[in-house]
Amino acid sequence: MNTEASSIRLRPTDLSEALELVDIIFDTDPSGIFIYSTDGRLVECNRAACEMHGFTKDQMLGMAPKDFIHPDGYQTFVDFQAELERTGSFRGESCGLTSSGGKFEVEVYGKPVMINGTGYLYSVIRDITVAQEYLRRLHEHEKQLEETVAQRTEDLARSNQKLEQFAYLTSHDLQEPLRTIRSFSSVLNEEYKDQLDEEGQKALMFIEQSGERMSRMVTDLLEHSRIGSDSKLEEVNLNEVLDDVLVDMSAAVAEKGAVVRAGALPTLRAKRSALRILFQNLISNAIKFARDDTPPRVEIDATEVKDAWRIRVSDNGIGIDPKHHEKVFQVFRRVHKRGRYEGSGIGLAHCAKVVALHGGSIELESEVGHGATFSFTLRSLE
């Protein structure tokens, strides 16, 4: 009851009108109104108060407060008396007791009032049992929802793990018969090539080439499924990772006359071998897809963004048509015809997996003939 008297605009000036209004309010207000003497005796209450408790007014007025206040809420009544004396207002929650022994939850407001020169304690209660019940159900549903989400997240993680395990096992087991096929096509090549005519030799060549390609793909898949599983978390300085990668690639860098420039890169709590795969693939792509007339130039920089680092690897190569941008991150999706550029087409899928593993995402900005910029975020892992 925060409404101050001064905020009432339509106020009777005539005393009898004012008293009538008080009666109407008292009688029709759905809140229970109680007037206690300063020593805690109930001296007046309204119709709503009686209805809430299931007593007649006469019964109510003859009762001690502990007979219509539930024991669980009685402390509030004690506090109400003390608080009104101390601060002049009260606000709290309590429980009412009904004539049949039932319990209902209430919100309580209190104010001291003067009536005919005597001080009283005025209190208004509102039944909040239904509201509280809804609130409880809401909390319950919220909890259930959280539990469901947690369960689903766990299921998803388990299913992903199974999928990875599946990829690992199939690629591992596929290697064996494939190896046998390749071995026997070598046997044919070594021992029986002279007995085959031109067509037969061509067929054998295709078998060997396909076997080699499939072997490469299976190995790549195996590597893809293993990314992140074999390395522990450690503090990784990305400049160091880059230096290591460049040492490994020094022959290709020298052959193409490539220039690789990097700014200061961050140190992250991360998986070192995975980040190595990331940089290795991005830089080797930048060098591999160079323009014929221009030596490759690769620029790497890092900027801090909201609780992560954004790293950009830009090149001046042949670029990638925007219609292929999504496809390039998928396993074995190649943009170029086989032969012109080596590779099975798994490198950028590796990159996307490494970035996802570090809580980030990878994007590509590129136009044909205008180089490519791979931009990705990385986060320190817990």
Q: Which is nearer to another protein, 43 or 169 (CB)?
A: 169
Could you say whether residue 291 binds another protein (CB under 8 A)?
no
Q: Which stretch binds another protein (CB under 8 A): 39-47, 137-145, 180-188, 337-345?
A: 180-188
Residue nearer to another protein on the CB measure, 226 or 333: 226
Cα dihedral across residues 290, 295, 296, 302: positive or negative = negative
Site string for another protein, 181-200 (x = CB under 8 A): --xx--x-------------
Task: Choose one: 126-134, 168-176, 250-258, 324-332; the region binding another protein (CB under 8 A).
Answer: 168-176
Structure tokens at 22: 């008080």
Query: Terminal CA-to-CA distance of the chain, rounded, Å?
Result: 51
Residue among 11, 137, 152, 179 that touches another protein (CB under 8 A): 179
**Cβ contact 353:243 at 8 Å:** no
Binding piece for another protein, criterion CB under 8 A, among 121-129, 175-183, 206-214, 346-354: 175-183
Query: Rounded CA gap, 342 and 350, in Å?
Result: 16
Is 332 a residue that touches another protein (CB under 8 A)?
Answer: no
Q: Which residue of 111, 126, 172, 325 would you call a contact of another protein, by CB under 8 A?
A: 172
Going by C-alpha positions, the residue among 234, 305, 309 that lies closest to residue 264 is: 309
Residue 362 in contact with residue 373, Cβ under 8 Å? no
Residue of 255, 174, 264, 259 whose CA lies nearest to 214: 174
Nearer to another protein, 231 or 380 (CB): 231
Task: Check residue 176 for interaction with another protein (CB under 8 A).
Answer: yes
| Shortest distance (Å) from residue 147 CB to another protein | 36
User: Closest distance between another protein and the C-beta of residue 285, in Å?
Assistant: 27
| One residue of 175, 189, 201, 375 binding another protein per CB under 8 A | 175
Helix spans in the chain (H): 15-28, 47-53, 57-61, 74-87, 129-192, 198-226, 238-248, 250-256, 272-288, 347-357
Binding mask 116-155 for another protein (x = CB under 8 A): ----------------------------------------
Closest to another protein by CB, 33 or 227: 227
Q: E strands along 157-256, which residues?
A: 233-237
Number of residues that bind another protein (CB under 8 A): 8
Does 115 engage in binding with another protein (CB under 8 A)? no
- DSSP label of 337: P
8 A C-beta contact, residue 120 and residue 113: yes
3-state secondary structure 266-329: CEEEEEHHHHHHHHHHHHHHHHHCCCCCCCCEEEEEEEEECCEEEEEEEECCCCCCHHHCCHHH
Taking the least distance from each CB to another protein, the nearer of 139 and 179 is 179
**Pick from 89, 151, 165, 180: which binds another protein (CB under 8 A)?**
180
Cα–Cα distances in Å, from 230 out to 124, 236, 273, 352, 373? Answer: 68, 15, 8, 17, 29
Residue (184 or 206) nearer to another protein, CB: 184
Alpha-carbon gap, residue 108 to 193, rounded angstroms: 100
Distance of closest approach, residue 183 Cβ to another protein, in angstroms: 5
The contact set with another protein (CB under 8 A) reads: 172, 175-176, 179-180, 183-184, 187
